[in-house]
Amino acid sequence: MHASDVADDLVEVLFTEEQIQARVAELALEIERDYEDKDLVLVGVLRGAVMIMADLARALNKHVEMDWMAVSSYGSGTKSSGVVRILKDLDADIAGRHVLIVDEIIDTGLTLSWLTSNLGSRGPASVEIATLLRKPEALQMPVKPRYVGWDIPNEFVVGYGLDYRERYRNMRDIGTLAPAVYS
């Protein structure tokens, strides 16, 4: 689905499919350079990171393992509470390996702050974060992603894995949701 298919639901298109693919390719080049000759495990955070994971992994010209975690943060609607529960854990043993958490957005940072320390306690060689989007104004925890696609204003965005009530995840572009949709 394209942003043009749901134009009435969006205030604006922030990033087109082409812009996203170009930025993901740039991030992949940086990651290739930084992890040359290193054993790399990509950890995707379900379900939002599915698109960025698929595109980033394919843009990398090196062997990587792809693994997944599902976590739920107790909270209501568009706010997260910071209490995190593992719904699906990794299949891989990450001890001694280089881990790159792949996520689509850092909002408050609560989820990734918790996940970084959880994975860090399993004895990995390193744990870093790659995120396509970050909302600096919303950040509540000291999360420092090594790779960031773009910083965006503190607005609710959808598309490319990002949902509102499970919709818009399959939109190819990223756009700001019109308040009329959620009020």
For ligand IMP, the closer of residues 26 and 137 by Cβ is 137
Q: Which of 28, 99, 157, 174 binds ligand IMP (CB under 6 A)?
A: 157
Site for ligand IMP in 106-125 (CB under 6 A): 106-111
Coil, strand or helix at 10: strand
Residue 107 annotated among the catalytic residues of the structure = yes
How far is the C-alpha of 161 from the C-alpha of 103, rounded, in Å? 10
CB of 95 to Mg ion, least distance (A): 25
How far is the C-alpha of 16 from the C-alpha of 2, rounded, in Å? 9
Q: Is 174 left (phi over 0), alpha (psi -120 to 50) or beta?
A: beta
Torsion sign (Cα): 34, 40, 43, 44: positive
CB of 92 to ligand IMP, least distance (A): 21
Q: Which of 6, 14, 28, 48 binds Mg ion (CB under 5 A)?
A: 48
43 near ligand IMP, judged by CB under 6 A: no
State the catalytic residue, choosing from 55, 107, 163, 173: 107
Q: Binders of ligand IMP: how many residues, by CB under 6 A?
A: 14
CB of 37 to ligand IMP, least distance (A): 31
Q: First-to-last CA distance in the chain?
A: 23
How far is the C-alpha of 115 from the C-alpha of 135, rounded, in Å? 18
* Residues involved in catalysis: 107
Interface residues toward ligand IMP, by CB under 6 A: 48, 80, 103, 105-111, 156-158, 162
